Amino acid sequence: MMQKLKLSDAPGRQKRVLAVHDISCVGRCSLTVALPVLSAMGFETSILPTSILSTHTGGFEGYTYRDLAADMDPVVDHWHALGLKFDAIFTGWMGTHRHIENLGHLLDAFGDGAALIVDPVMGDNGKLYATLDDAYVAAMRAYCARADVLLPNLTEAALLTGTDYPFPGYDKAWVEGMLRRLNDMGPGIAVLTGVTLKPGRIGAAALDGRRGQLIYFDEPYIPGMWHGAGDVFASVLTGAVLNGAPMPKALRLAVDFTARCIRRTRRAATDERLGLQFEPELGGLMNEAQ
């Protein structure tokens, strides 16, 4: 008989987060962002990879790709047999219907008592990613209804709610209406990323459906292709929420930290495909996250 894990239930114990994303071995994004960020914020961070790539797909050619969907359910079954528990499950890029089905199995095993934070990675700039289809969007929509915190960008929010992408522009009323539609899907808290309400600035807006509280923070817009910025933002926000920060504080921390990483990366002038230089900023994040 398998020996179960001895898990602490002591007050103030270290929380355990499961991050479910792909691994891009080069180019900071997905798990190579979520794991160090959440660890720096004080969490025991377990991982469930959905796929493994030599690099991320933004601007790289000839990258390798291996789908790990077939491995996900057996991993979950082993953890369940060990008696493992999670305080939160944080999911990102899936890529196929099979991965979303696997998430259902994961939530059946560990969903009770675990906050579900979902970054529904599906598209950008008004377009669904080329490898996905309408059926995938429908499957993701059903999955997102189970989320406690939902973190789409403008494109993903439009896809999830079946509304038109707001081209060429939008205002505060549109943002608030979109957040309410996302809340109506089921998530208690909806966060909309990549929001611009003032010229030359970009940030994120949130609506806590339980309190009806609209929150918005932004920073000066820095032109560039900042690969992994969304993953940095989502990871910091996840950690802040799990540390008990109220949403205004959590959103401000995530926006500010992401902006600092972008500024540092711009000063370094390295290849943008390598992602944000977030690692030197982790020391400050550790202090701010307390």
Output the pLDDT for position 52: 97
Output the pLDDT for position 71: 97
One-letter amino acid at 252 equals R
Domain count, the chain: 1
The helix-helix angle for 172-185 and 154-161 (nearest 10°) equals 50
70: containing domain: 16-288
Instruction: Let me know if residue 236 belongs to a domain.
Output: yes
Output the pLDDT for position 210: 73
Give the tens place of pLDDT for each residue, 12-46: 899 999 999 999 999 999 999 999 999 999 999 99
Give the tens place of pLDDT for each residue, 75-107: 999 999 999 999 999 999 999 999 999 999 999
pLDDT exceeds 90 at position 264: yes
Instruction: Let me know if residue 139 belongs to a domain.
Output: yes
Instruction: Let me know if residue 6 belongs to a domain.
Output: no
Instruction: Let me know if residue 5 belongs to a domain.
Output: no
Instruction: Let me know if residue 30 belongs to a domain.
Output: yes
CA dist 152 and 88 (Å) reads 18
One-letter amino acid at 277 equals Q
CA dist 59 and 201 (Å) reads 25
Q: Other CB atoms closer than 10 Å to residue 62's CB: what's the count?
A: 6
DSSP 131-200: T--HHHHHHHHHHHTT-SEE--BHHHHHHHHT-----S---HHHHHHHHHHHHHHS-SEEEEEEE-SSTT
Cis peptide upstream of residue 168 (ω within 30 degrees of 0): yes
pLDDT exceeds 80 at position 213: no
Instruction: Let me know if residue 9 belongs to a domain.
Output: no
Window from 43-52, 55-64, 164-173, 250-259 with minimum mean pLDDT? 164-173
CA dist 97 and 122 (Å) reads 12
Residue 8 burial by CB count (10 A; 0-12/13-18/19+): exposed, middle or buried? Answer: exposed
Instruction: Let me know if residue 235 belongs to a domain.
Output: yes
Q: Confidence class of residue 168 from pLDDT cuts 50, 70 and 90?
A: confident
Q: What is the CATH number of the domain that holds 211?
A: 3.40.1190.20
Instruction: Let me know if residue 187 belongs to a domain.
Output: yes
Cα–Cα distances (Å) from 282 to 33, 39, 89, 242, 260, in that order, read 11, 10, 22, 17, 11
Mean pLDDT of 131-152: 96
